[in-house]
Amino acid sequence: MKKNLTAVPHALNASQRAAHYGHRGAVMWLTGLSASGKSSIAMALEQALTEQGYSCYVLDGDNIRNGLNANLGFSPEDRTENIRRVGEVAALFADAGLICITAFISPYRADRARARQSCGEAFHEIHISADLATCESRDPKGLYKKARSGELREFTGVSAPYEIPEQPQLAIDTAREDIAASVVKLVTYVERNVPLIRALSC
């Protein structure tokens, strides 16, 4: 079917979009166990960056599964498809010139590598590296308890694997740092790697 498809070029290029938004597009891919703090950090990061003049949007795991990926479960195959779709959407956000912050467990290295391939140089892998014991002690949704009792199957860290990033661009241990400190680190990272063009030209 793909042989009958023709890509339609956009009227604007990356430089023109960057000039409009004041920065290049990028994907901040937050990966880590459930309850590691990904969603909380992502939402706080979006607010902090927006206040500084960045244009951002968060793609959160639960939100996406309630809409775009509502037809997917948690089998290895469905997890892979979940991340494939998110990687493609994130790439579109980055191509549009926005900072796309994703908060997904994304447990498999191959899936994250595929997302990186989709996003190209815009992709930044951020490991939210709280250990399993810390995440399980938090358990805000009661998911670990359900997984331990057998009520919830294919749960990452308990009955399904999490493959730790081997060379993330940034690792944040939320077992040792709170949300505020984690966000400060991420804001600094973004400022260094995706600087505001307007700030540089002042």
Residues involved in catalysis: 106
Question: Is residue 143 within 8 Å of residue 66, measured between CB atoms?
Answer: no
**Phi–psi pair at 128, nearest 5 degrees:** -90, 100
108 Cβ partners below 8 Å, 6+ apart?
Answer: 76, 79, 80, 83, 161, 163
Closest CA to 28 of 65, 54, 66: 54
Q: Are 112 and 29 in contact (CB under 8 A)?
A: yes
If DSSP codes are grouped into helix, strand and coil, which group holds residue 171?
strand
For residue 195, the number of C-alpha atoms closer than 13 Å in the C-beta half-sphere is: 7
Q: Report the distance separating Cα 188 and Cα 129, nearest Å.
A: 18
